[in-house]
Structure 1
Amino acid sequence: MNPSSYISTKRVCSRRQFLRGTGVVLALPFLEAMMPAFAREAKVLPPRRMLAVCNNLGLVPEKFFPEQAGRDYALSPYLQELSEHRNEFTVFSGVSHPDVDGGHPADNCFLTAAPHPGSGGFRNTISLDQYAAERIGNLTRVPSLTLGVNVQQGQRSLSWTGTGALIPCEEKPSEVFKRLFLNGTPQQVAAQERKLALGQSIMDAVAGQAKSLQRDVGPRDRERLDQYFTGVRDLEKRLGDARAWERKPKPVVNAAIPKDPESPREYMDKVRLMYDMARLAFENDSTRLVTLMLDSVNSPAIEVEGQNTTDGYHNLSHHGKSPTKLAQLEMIDREHMKLLGTLFGELKTAHEGADRLLDRTMILYGSNLGNANTHVTTNLPVLFAGGGFKHGQHLLFDRERNYPLPNLFVSMLQRLGIEANKFASSTGTMKGLEIA
């Protein structure tokens, strides 16, 4: 029989009735055997971490990309700001996300590689950090951190769930600090535990009802319900992990609560403070996954080295080869490189056991735009540091037919201890990138 000609005589169960009529249901516990083997193994592996940064106005290409490939390349003007860390990073040319177009909307796809973000009806896919958080996020107090600078809230983020929902960015360093390092009062802890318990009880009931419903539906609906049930079970596990962390004291750090910059003009100060928050989180293993959206499009004239630019960041990026605008852009871009250099240096001096923290931390810095002046989304400026890879090289790919950047994402997932052979539009792991 043709499946499309099948007519069910069973009563239709509305979703509203299903949720309202769950009652008290005892769901199956989350068994250790249900957890993938690689997730169990990740508990005994040395911690590895990831910071992914997207500057959505990119960098002036001719100042960023080196001319020669290989390990003996001459540093470009911008990379000269990172000269003391030359052997700690790899620079890529000729990489992009296949079919990710649309100019500025592509920033939301920097870690998802979902195609055609500017098209009508576009729906995003899961981001690299959230894919990893679903597998190793339970190992730390905070599964992942989603940070932002001058972000257009509700419109932009680097972090997206498996259902394509945006995860809002946290923009106040002081609030990030409190979340990571300040313990709540006993009353606050109890209140948070009650919220988590309520959420878990709802998940238990919904899961139980979904399981019983599977017996009364057709094969296609049974498959959908199985996927739904798997998702609910995963949420139950995460809620249980969160409840356990509530009773554990937060780490004590030798740092004061940062003062939040008041003006969006203080863009560079905000970037520096967010790097500090990521570093502190890594040093104390509070989280292993951090994203940072630098919303330069949404930034006004900004302060750089004590002086203000004469125009908004976005307007400067449309320089039309104006010497005045290009000079200010170069000043901004160099400051970005200097801040990265400071972060690299701090991670090199911090140690975890016998290893430098930089060797356990992958840092991805790049943009969704290859050239903000023309809105192209090919030939993306990408710099990748740390993580225990063999660096000190310029990997040059075809600038006409770009190499898929998601291949780097697969290499990053594997370095995190996650068994993954594909992510988004990847075709394998990153060619030329080897483990040290």
Structure 2
Amino acid sequence: MRQRPLSRRTFLRGSGVALSLPLLDAMGVATASAAPSGSSTAPQRLIAIETNQGIVPQYFFPKRAGFDWEVTPYLKHLNQFRDQLTVFSGVSHPEVDGGHSAEPCFLTAAPHPGRGGFRNTISLDQYAAERIGHHNRFPSLTLSINTPRSISFTAAGVQIPGENSPRRVFQKLFVRGNAEAVQSRIADLRHGRSILDSVADRARTLSREVGSRDRAKLDQYFTGVRELERRLHANEEWENRPKPQVDYPMPEEMNDPSALLEQVRSMFDLCRLAVQTDSTRLITFFMYQNTAKPNIPGVQEGTHGLTHHGNNPDKLSQLQLIEGAQLEELSRLLGQLRETPEAGASLLDRTSVLYGTPMGNANRHSNDNLPVLLAGGGFRHAGHLAFSQEHNYPLPNLFVSLLQSLGVEADRFASSTGTMSGLELR
């Protein structure tokens, strides 16, 4: 029997509120035919860092593979972590192209970002957050400098705004607010739950009125709604718990894009504090830099202009100063993580730190042979893993390995073909 089509403006209503619905087959024309039918073990964490202007490859990549890699101008900053580090060469995201357009795809590997109509996909951190984020006060932490953008994307491909104020990040993590503010926040959370509860009866009725394919869509949709409800309930519980106390001063506001290293250091400190207090287990950091000249002695231009160096020795020298200083800040972060004990190991042993860029050669705007490294985490590190420069190995394979290290059951992510060859979990 043919059913009357639903309006695309159909809402589930209850108790004075309305919940919009996804597009269903039953919202089509009347003649449309129906289609066939928390652990005691210390947790692992992830800090994923993207520097958007590339990394000069000849200063980064060693020539020798394995643990006997030679110290390059950039890796000299990380030599003390040689036994807890893997450098990758000959890796990239299959079909991710477009030069700077690839910036949002570093953790998603969504293909052809430069084409019209491009829509991003879920990022590595958010894929993990959907599965393990409920263990912490913050399912994930999305950080940036010099921009409100980020490298984190939802399952719908929507960018999550990056928090670029160290002061606000600190307040979010460690400042609870007065009792009135807490109760106001709890009231907001309860109101959100009441909206979901109030449409439950109508939702069940609607499920009986539509076809099998629409029931499957509704089931998927309501699963997401139930997940939101669960998160709202968890958020209320967290609001009633005191936030951790840390021996760290309130950061100053940093609105000067020239203060590149100061901003990076402050955000790295907050990354370390966030994982040390187990406030979150998933952090992304977009180290955005463009035209501003960093306050680094010997540097006279902004990073973006210097990346178009044309092999000019002076420009390359300035780039080396900037990128080497960034890697020195990374070394400081790794050192702090290694010096922090946790459950018979160190915080570095419990935290995978991914550092890389979406451009293999910013001078040519190429997106192959990406400079990428991984430190710490639950891996038996391999020194320098060298793959083919002509036929790159899929970087998303590393993402599958990272998911598994976090305890997420996954054998595929984006364009992966499996786990990362040569890199094993302990």
**TM-score, L = length of structure 2:** 0.92
The structure where helix makes up a greater share of residues is 1
Within 5 Å, give how 1:250-269 maps onto structure 2. 250-269=243-262
Report the Cα offset of residue 308 of structure 1.
Answer: 6.5
Is 1:397 paired with 2:390?
Answer: no
Measured against aligned partners, the alpha-carbon deviations of 1:317-368 in whole angstroms (never above 9, x if no partner) come to 1111111111100001110110111011100110112110000000000000
For 2:11 and 2:183, locate their aligned partners in 1 and report how far apart those are by CA, in whole Å: 31
**Aligned twin of 1:411:** 401
**Secondary structure at the residue paired with 1:383?**
strand
Amino acid across the alignment from 2:84: E
For 1:410 and 1:231, locate their aligned partners in 2 and report how far apart those are by CA, in whole Å: 23
Is 1:300 paired with 2:292?
Answer: yes
**Secondary structure at the residue paired with 1:71?**
coil
Measured against aligned partners, the alpha-carbon deviations of 1:146-177 in whole angstroms (never above 9, x if no partner) come to 000112x3xx3211011111100000011111
Report the Cα offset of residue 200 of structure 1.
Answer: 1.6
**Aligned twin of 1:28:** none
Report the Cα offset of residue 207 of structure 1.
Answer: 5.0
For 2:287 and 2:134, locate their aligned partners in 1 and report how far apart those are by CA, in whole Å: 27
Structure 2, unpaired ranges of 5+:
18-37
Q: Given the alignment, which residue of 116, 121, 124 partners 1:120?
A: 116
**Secondary structure at the residue paired with 2:49?**
strand
Gap change, CA 1:254 and 1:201, over 3 Å in 2 = same
Within 5 Å, give how 1:42-57 maps onto structure 2. 42-57=38-53
For 2:371 and 2:413, locate their aligned partners in 1 and report how far apart those are by CA, in whole Å: 20
Gap change, CA 1:308 and 1:183, over 3 Å in 2 = farther
For 2:204 and 2:311, locate their aligned partners in 1 and report how far apart those are by CA, in whole Å: 62
Report the Cα offset of residue 208 of structure 1.
Answer: 4.5
Report the Cα offset of residue 46 of structure 1.
Answer: 2.0
For 1:289 and 1:117, locate their aligned partners in 2 and report how far apart those are by CA, in whole Å: 24
Report the Cα offset of residue 16 of structure 1.
Answer: 3.4
**Secondary structure at the residue paired with 1:296?**
coil
Within 5 Å, give how 1:180-329 maps onto structure 2. 180-297=173-290, 299-304=291-296, 307=297, 309-329=299-319
Amino acid across the alignment from 1:85: F
**Aligned twin of 1:163:** 156
Within 5 Å, give how 1:66-81 maps onto structure 2. 66-81=62-77
Gap change, CA 1:372 and 1:190, over 3 Å in 2 = same
Measured against aligned partners, the alpha-carbon deviations of 1:97-136 in whole angstroms (never above 9, x if no partner) come to 1111111111101111111111111111111101111111
Measured against aligned partners, the alpha-carbon deviations of 1:278-316 in whole angstroms (never above 9, x if no partner) come to 00011111111000001123x411112xx3732221111
For 1:277 and 1:103, locate their aligned partners in 2 and report how far apart those are by CA, in whole Å: 30
Report the Cα offset of residue 212 of structure 1.
Answer: 2.4
Q: Given the alignment, which residue of 14, 17, 31 partners 1:22?
A: 14
**Aligned twin of 1:65:** 61
**Aligned twin of 1:38:** none
**Aligned twin of 1:137:** 133
Amino acid across the alignment from 1:202: I
**Secondary structure at the residue paired with 2:286?**
strand
Number of aligned residues: 406
Report the Cα offset of residue 215 of structure 1.
Answer: 1.2
Q: Please tell me the root mean square deviation across aligned C-alpha atoms, in Å.
A: 1.6
Query: Contact 1:69–1:395 (CA<8 Å) still a contact in 2?
Result: yes
Amino acid across the alignment from 1:314: H
Query: Contact 1:86–1:392 (CA<8 Å) still a contact in 2?
Result: no
Identity of aligned residues (%): 52
Amino acid across the alignment from 2:171: K
For 1:139 and 1:171, locate their aligned partners in 2 and report how far apart those are by CA, in whole Å: 25
**Secondary structure at the residue paired with 2:379?**
coil
For 1:121 and 1:89, locate their aligned partners in 2 and report how far apart those are by CA, in whole Å: 38
Within 5 Å, give how 1:417-428 maps onto structure 2. 417-428=407-418
Q: Given the alignment, which residue of 348, 356, 362 partners 2:346?
A: 356
Measured against aligned partners, the alpha-carbon deviations of 1:391-415 in whole angstroms (never above 9, x if no partner) come to 2510001111111111111111111
Amino acid across the alignment from 2:310: G
**Aligned twin of 2:372:** 382
For 1:422 and 1:309, locate their aligned partners in 2 and report how far apart those are by CA, in whole Å: 43
Query: Contact 2:298–2:318 (CA<8 Å) still a contact in 1?
Result: no
For 1:333 and 1:96, locate their aligned partners in 2 and report how far apart those are by CA, in whole Å: 20
Amino acid across the alignment from 2:301: D
Report the Cα offset of residue 198 of structure 1.
Answer: 1.4
**Secondary structure at the residue paired with 2:424?**
coil
**Aligned twin of 2:34:** none
